[in-house]
Every structure is written in structure tokens, then in C-alpha cells.
Amino acid sequence: MNPRISVVALGLSAAIGFAGCQKVQELEPEPLKLAVPDHFPDPIFGTGETAPTAAGFELGRRLFYDPGLSVDGTISCGSCHAQVHAFADHNVALSTGVGGALGTRNSPALSNLAWYPTFMADGGITHLEVMPLAPLMSPVEMAADSEHLMSYLKSHPVYPRLFQNAFGGEPTGQRLLKALAQFQAMLVSANARYDQWALGQIDFTDTEQRGYDLFVAHCSTCHTEPLFTDFSYANTGLDSVSADAGRYRVTLDPLDHGAFKVPNLRNVALTRPYMHDGRLFTLRSVVDHYADGVIVHPGLDERLPGPLGLDEQQREDLVAFLETLTDYEYLANSQISEPR
Ligand code: HEC
Ligand code: HEC
């Protein structure tokens, strides 16, 4: 295993185990190293000013899994972003928020967010520290109001000390967002079979190799290695007129109607159902869409000229390649799981 690919490199012990002690500790200044795998580009977030600290990361981790942040104490970030599904929801098309409210988009898997220039299927959010505001405040997700949230954090038995330790002060909205961003920045998935192959450590099977070659020929213009997205927006011909305006909501450019951000495909075998509304239930059905389901219309992305017309073997090979993107170390990593 590549020694550089361990999610949290340094100093976590400084933050763990301190919650029980009464004395407020000095701010732990030691920065956490964001593990940048050898075959990855430089991240956008998590270095320099935004570098996570052990204390900030550990606070963010507690917050991520804490349903107490939601208006009725029932829904945490982790409710819709579950580690066993690579931080996607539990195989449901749409997620349930407070009071049983249903959202309108499929919960995406979360990984390698420190490399993301934009967030959401329409790219409406452009900074990892602003990102948590949307789910926290959304009436169909956590529906938190800031007054309730702040009094929850300030009167909590543990949080005031964790905020003190991480940021040298009491809980504030901005510190809450920074801590959540620090936790999310450390969600690095880079040890799938694909990565071991890319680093020359293993060979693909024949079917995986054929699938990879097809992927490079037909898919990687949008799902670019090694992050498996180029962060562009594309209309993939799911509908002739999309019910969800997609990127159009941000740009108001009619050509962007029904275009969505190219999703990161890491761990995709575990994140069904697929597409912005979760309409396709299996990886095979996604490949079938590209093979013969693409609707040709004026908005269709030019990088996808139409149905690819793949044969049975090619479809199986593509699915076999997509399955090499599963990173079992990421799924089992206790440093990013719900704190006990
Ligand atoms: C009720 C379910 C739900 C909850 C709770 C929730 N999310 Fe999400 N999350 C979603 C959905 C659905 C989307 C996709 C929304 C879109 O694209 O418009 C999303 C998108 C995201 C993204 C963008 C990923 C990308 O690919 O661009 C991030 C990051 C994220 N959520 C983090 C969080 C954090 C942090 C919290 C807690 C503060 C949280 N989520 C709470 C359902 C949820
Ligand atoms: C023109 C750019 C483009 C090309 C080419 C492309 N994709 Fe996609 N892909 C997208 C976009 C955009 C989405 C999201 C669509 C949506 O949410 O409605 C997507 C979604 C997916 C998903 C679902 C991911 C999820 O989490 O929901 C998979 C799997 C996928 N593509 C695989 C492939 C494969 C395999 C190929 C090649 C046969 C391919 N893509 C070619 C842009 C592209």
C-alpha cells in the first residue's frame, strides 16, 4: 500500500480523548497534512490558510455525525452521506430530511472534496466552507435556524471546549462551517484497485483492462482521471426536456438547461441509484443509457454525440472497470467514521 495514502497523517491523538477532561487545553496549532496521493493534482482546499488542524478535523467529524444540528434533532449530515456507501445515501433515489420531507436530488457520494472547485449538481456553491450552509438551512434537509443551532452548541457539554481547542474561542456559525469543511477536506479516497493499478502495483484483469480502454475512448473526456470528473457540466441526453433545469439555475443560459456537473465516479459501485434524480438503479443501466438510451437533442453535450452502440461484452467490461473504483480502505477507515 502506498504510504502517502493514509487519510489522516498526523496528530489526531491530540484531539481524541480530550473531551472528557475538564481543563480547557491550549489551541493545538499542529496542522494536519492532507494526504495528496502521488497520482493526484494539487488540491484547492486544505493547504495554507485552510489547512485542517487535528482539533478542527475532530470537531468537524463530531458535527458531521450529530443529528442535534437539525431542527428536531433527527438528521445529521451522515444520515444522507453514509460511510458504508462512500458517503452517499442508503440506496434511495431521494433523501429524507427532517419531518419526512423528501428532497429533489439524489445524495451524491462524497470524496476528494478538497479538489472540487464547485459543489452541487448545478455547481451553485463554490467554496467548501460555504457548502454546509445549504443542507443545514434547507427546509427539506436539516431545517436548522441559526439561533437554535448556536444555543445548542453553546450549551452542549462538549462542544464549547472543542471549539475552544480548535479555534481559540466559543462556537460561532463561521467556526462551525470551518470545522465541517476541515472534516470534509480529509475525505480522501485514493486506494481503489484503479489507484493500485495506476501506481503500477497490480495488473487489471482482462475484462477490467478492456473496460478501461473503452472508458478512455468514450467516457474520460468528462470523467477525467484521477478524480473521475473534469468538473464541467454536461447534458447527457436523459430527457429531451429535463424536469430539473440543472446548471441553467445558475447561469440562466438556455444551453445549460438539463446539464449537470459531471459526477466523481469513485466508489460508484456502492452509490446506486444513479443520476441527479436517482432514476437508474444499476451500473449496468447507466452503461445501457450511454450505449443506446442517449436522446439526441440540441442541448446534448458535444462530447457525447449520441448513443455509443456498445455490444454485450463491452457493456460488461465497462461495468467491470467501474467496479475497480471501489476503495475498501476508505469505506472502513475508522478515522472518518462516526465517533463513539
Ligand atoms: C436530507 C439529506 C441530506 C443531508 C442531511 C445533507 N445532505 Fe449533503 N447533499 C444531499 C443532496 C440531495 C445533495 C445534492 C444536492 C444538489 O446537487 O443540488 C447533497 C450535496 C452535498 C455536497 C456536494 C457534493 C457534490 O458532489 O457537489 C456536499 C459537500 C454535501 N452535500 C455535504 C453535506 C454536509 C456537510 C451536510 C451536513 C451539514 C449535508 N451534506 C447534509 C443530501 C443531504
Ligand atoms: C459529456 C460528458 C460525459 C460523458 C462523455 C460521459 N459522462 Fe457519465 N455522466 C456525465 C454527467 C453530467 C453525469 C450526471 C448526469 C445526471 O446527474 O443527470 C454522468 C453520470 C454518470 C454516472 C452516474 C454517477 C452517479 O453517481 O449518479 C456514471 C456511472 C457514468 N456517468 C458513467 C459514464 C460512463 C461509463 C461513460 C462512458 C460510456 C460516461 N459516463 C460518459 C457526463 C458524461
| Sole residue written with cell 466552507 | 129
CATH architecture of 12-190: Orthogonal Bundle (1.10)
Residue nearest to atom 3 of ligand 2 (CA): 222
24: confidence class by pLDDT, cuts 50, 70, 90: very low
The predicted model gives 172-191 an average pLDDT of 96
6 confidence band (pLDDT: 50, 70, 90): very low
pLDDT of residue 325: 98
Nearest by Cα to 124 from 227, 276, 301, 302:
276
Cell of 318: 465497462
Whose CA is closest to 319, among 294, 292, 285, 293?
Answer: 285
Confidence grade of residue 15 (pLDDT, cut at 50, 70, 90):
very low
pLDDT at 19: 36
Residue 282: nearest ligand to its CA? 2
Lowest mean pLDDT among 31-40, 108-117, 269-278: 31-40
Percent of the chain with pLDDT over 90: 86
| 252-271 per-position pLDDT tens digit | 999 999 999 999 999 999 99
Residue pair 261/278 in contact (Cβ under 8 Å)? The answer is no
180 in Cβ contact with 60 (< 8 Å): yes
What local confidence, expressed as pLDDT, does residue 54 receive? 94
Backbone phi, then psi, for 133, in 5-degree steps?
-55, -40
Atom of ligand 1 nearest to the CA of 124: 18
- The answer, yes or no, to whether any atom of ligand 1 lies below 6 A from the CB of 271, is no
Distance CA 312, CA 248 (A): 35
Q: How far is CA 122 from CA 78, 118, 141, 211, 262, in A?
A: 22, 9, 18, 29, 10
Q: How confident is the model at residue 237 (pLDDT cuts 50, 70, 90)?
A: very high
Closest listed residue to residue 270, CA positions, set 190, 331, 196? 331
Q: Is the overall model pTM greater than 0.75, yes or no?
A: yes
Residue nearest to atom 40 of ligand 2 (CA): 219
What is the per-residue pLDDT across 42-63, written as a single tens digit (0 to 9) for each?
999 988 888 899 999 999 999 9
Q: Is the CB of 142 under 6 A from ligand 1?
A: yes
Pick the residue whose CA is nearest to atom 6 on ligand 2.
219
Q: Give the domain ranges of the chain.
A: 12-190, 193-323
pLDDT mean across residues, the chain: 91
7-21, 36-50, 103-117: range with lowest mean pLDDT: 7-21
In this prediction, residue 11 carries a pLDDT of 32
Residue 245: per-residue pLDDT = 96
The residue-averaged pLDDT of 63-73 equals: 96
Q: Name the fold adopted by 193-323.
A: Cytochrome Bc1 Complex; Chain D, domain 2 (1.10.760)
Same fold: 12-190 with 193-323 = yes
